[in-house]
Each structure stands twice: as C-alpha cells, then as structure tokens.
Amino acid sequence: MTDGYARAALEMGRGEEVVDQVSDELFRLGRLFETSDELRSNLANALVPFERKQGIINDLLGDKAHRITVGFVTMIAAAGRINDFPEISQRITELAASTRAKTVAEVRSALELDSETVRKLEDRLSQTTGLAIEAKIVVDPSLIGGIVARVGDTVYDGSVLARLRKLREDVQKV
C-alpha cells in the first residue's frame, strides 16, 4: 500500500517537474514525524478532528513547502494513513533516487552540511559501496559530532559517540 502512495506523490511531482523538491520535503517531514512525539500524537490521534490536523499541517508546512507536498500530507492524514507516513516518505525518496539510478544514503550529522561536503560524502560512500549514492541529510544534534550513514541495511558510524564507545572498550581491555 505504501508503494502506491509513494508512486502517486512522484507522479504529482513529475507533472509539475518538482520531483526532487517534493521528495526532499517529504523525506524531511517523514523524519520529523518519526522524532516528534507531539506531531505524531496530534496527527495520528483519531480523536483529533481532521480540521485540526489540517491546521497543524498548514501551520507546519504552509508556504514553506510546495503545494503538492502540503496536499499529499493532507491526503495521507485524511486517509487515516499518517502512521505509515515515515515508511511512505522513505519509499518516495528511494523511488525518486532510483529514477536517477542512485541509491539513497540517510546521513545523520550533528550539524547542517554544506553542498560541497555532501558531494564529497556521496563520492566517498559511492567508493565504499560501489553504488551511485544520493545522500539525504538529517541533522541530529545528539551525535555531538561526526556522521552516521545508512545505505540499505548497512550502517557506517563515524560519530563522536561511536568513537567514545570504542575508546572506552579499548581502555577497559587494558
């Protein structure tokens, strides 16, 4: 079922030649939905009237996102599928990348990365995996520093936390 919604979002984006923008906005919103208990509880709660949910979506996205993005999220909420939204948004991202013959790498970073750094990271991940990579960046301040990249089921952890854990393990062995 999520594949059908994902394909519908891509077709709407293709119709207006905004696939990249819409897929990126939906990816970011999907990650926000996963991490925000307040957003999830308000949009997923069957007791919250749809008009209130629509207001939350408009307040959150409003003029900051393409109208296709806003309409798609509203449609998902109206269909009662908002709990599936993270999975749907991930599938949209994968399908959009595959149209460019790329594989998505979800990269968590403590800070926002500039476009040159993202390009170098994509090149490095491409060399490591042997795949053409498209990085989707998620800012995660809990990392303190470094990055964590996930390509499919493989995780590359270069975060400060991982390094500190490794250092602790090494010290405990001595």
pLDDT per position as a tens digit, 23-35: 989 998 998 888 8
Q: Domain segments of the chain: what residues?
A: 2-96, 101-173
Radius of gyration for the chain, computed over Cα atoms and rounded to the nearest angstrom: 18
- Specify burial of residue 167 (Cβ count, 10 A radius: 0-12, 13-18, 19+): exposed
Question: Which amino acid is located at 140 in the chain?
Answer: D
> Please, are residues 141 and 170 in contact by the beta-carbon 8 Å criterion?
no
Name the residue with higher pLDDT: 69 or 15.
69
Instruction: Identify the pLDDT of residue 149.
Output: 92
Checking DSSP bridges between strand 103-109 and strand 133-139, what pairing results, if any?
parallel
CATH code of the domain occupying 2-96: 1.10.520.20
Question: Which amino acid is located at 169 in the chain?
Answer: E
Place of tokens 């960046």: 137
Instruction: Identify the pLDDT of residue 135.
Output: 92
